[in-house]
Amino acid sequence: MEYTTQMDAARKGIVTREMEIVAQKEGKTAREIMELVACGKVVIPANKNHKSLNPEGIGQGLRTKINVNIGISRDCFDFDAEIEKAQKAIELKAESIMDLSSYGKTRQFRQKLIEISPAMIGTVPIYDAVGYYDKDIGEITAREFIDIVEMHARDGVDFMTIHAGVNKETVRRFKNNPRLTNIVSRGGSIIFSWMQLTGNENPFYEYFDDILDIFAKYDVTISLGDAFRPGSIHDSTDAAQIEELIVLGELTKRAWEKNVQVMIEGPGHMPLSEIAANVLLAKKLCHGAPFYVLGPIVTDIAPGYDHITSAIGGAIAAASGADFLCYVTPAEHLRLPTLEDMKEGIIAAKIAAHAADIAKGIKGAKEWDDRMSQARRNLDWEEMFSLAIDSEKPRRYRMESTPEYEDTCTMCGKMCAVRNMNRILKGEDVSLI
């Protein structure tokens, strides 16, 4: 029996190779994964043309996944440096890489990335349109935007952010409810500007069915972008954000009618007290589709440390039901991240995802922590390093400050509680001198 997409296969009762791989990774049966894909609560972004892909599932009951952003820009267009970042992200086991390139040899970069990456690849086609056509935004036609989407699909992109929730009605709502930080979504600001300059409806909304046909052909997952995500905690959970979310829920059902897998993108900047409610709203209004969040960043006062502010928000969001975290680096709001910035962002996001998985009771999550605790009790440094989410940093710290006794560290020395409890419980003497 033939099928067009993972969702089409699942609805026909077909277990695909990708479903079997995801089931094995998640400790579930292939049939469980198939049923979740069929109802839209899990997606497996897997473009038919992405031959190097090692598939992952995103959604209900699965491990929280993380995404890493890379890409060339007009100010920083070092092709090789961005490929090096991609290779580091793969080494650190990020499940997803988004190519946000907006300048230069974007297609060449994207094709190289898809060729080498076992991680799923996402893009935001509207970023590429401006650089690819080398036109001012108001001169790009609706058809040209759609053509860029098809080119990305043909190249093998597994999921794309499409800002289809911006339409004339949501724009009216935004204008009638002024914000402190306006629109901070890059894609949202571009399409808003295009609409204002041309007077036309958003082509991603107007020609949504055409986009779905492209996505169904290549099995691209649509990630419905949150153009009106809040860019400050002052603007969170406002009229424009919620109006757009309602539209995204309607578009989700239209996508499912064509067997196109859907993710929903979410905020943004948001106080801690609003995160759980926002996850609930997104899940309810968008019919249980997987929820993909940027952060949320929980305070606006920490430039240079937004990998921390977003990890705090991401852990709470994922524990509340979000399924996919977009990493944020220390360079957020300041510059294109360096390789070291990127690594810090990945580790922070992975910590948030794992902490949430423990809270959600994901199979195997707490057991990892238990193995680490056993290694600590045994003062088995090598085992601790091997279990660490990043083995390089703790190993370096240990080597930089060598203790007198191997079974201690330079913080406590012979006063180490673990060392002394091990000894006293074995009936051995304990000397602190």
Residues placed in the known binding site for substrate:
69, 98, 127, 163, 185-187, 226-229, 265, 292
Q: Is 98 helix (H, G, I), strand (E, B) or coil?
A: strand
Q: Name the binding residues.
A: 69, 98, 127, 163, 185-187, 226-229, 265, 269, 292, 333, 409, 412, 416
In the numeric block, the tokens 């650190």 are attached to 92
Annotated binding site for [4Fe-4S] cluster: 409, 412, 416
- Between CA 57 and CA 44 the distance in angstroms is 5
Instruction: Report whether 151 contacts 114 (CB < 8 A).
Output: no
Euclidean distance between CA atoms 96 and 353, whole angstroms: 13
The whole-angstrom separation of Cα 82 and Cα 89 is 11
Report the length, in residues, of the chain.
Answer: 433
- What whole-number distance in Å separates Cα of residue 347 and Cα of residue 66? 10
Which residues sit in the known binding site for Zn(2+)? 269, 333
For residue 413, the Cα-to-chain-centroid distance in whole angstroms is 41
Name the residue with tokens 């409810």: 177
Count the Cβ atoms, other than its own, within 10 Å of residue 108.
12
Which phi and psi angles does 410 have, rounded to 5°?
-75, 0
Alpha carbon 120 to its chain centroid, in Å, reads: 11
Q: How far apart are CA 312 and CA 305, in angstroms?
A: 11
C-beta of residue 244 within 8 angstroms of C-beta of residue 170: yes
Closest CA to 342 of 30, 48, 90: 90
The three-class DSSP label of residue 265 is strand
Strands (E) in 193-295, as ranges, are 221-224, 262-266, 291-294
Nearest to 61, CA basis, from 100, 29, 96, 101:
29
CA end-to-end span of the chain = 76
Helix %, strand %, coil % for the chain, to 5? 50, 10, 40
* Rounded-to-integer distance, Cα 144 and Cα 288, Å: 32
- What distance in Å separates the CA atoms of residue 262 and residue 246, rounded to the nearest whole number? 15
Query: Which tokens belong to 253?
Result: 């059902």
The CA distance from 205 to 143, in Å, is 13
User: Is 318 within 8 Å of 285 (Cβ atoms)?
Assistant: no
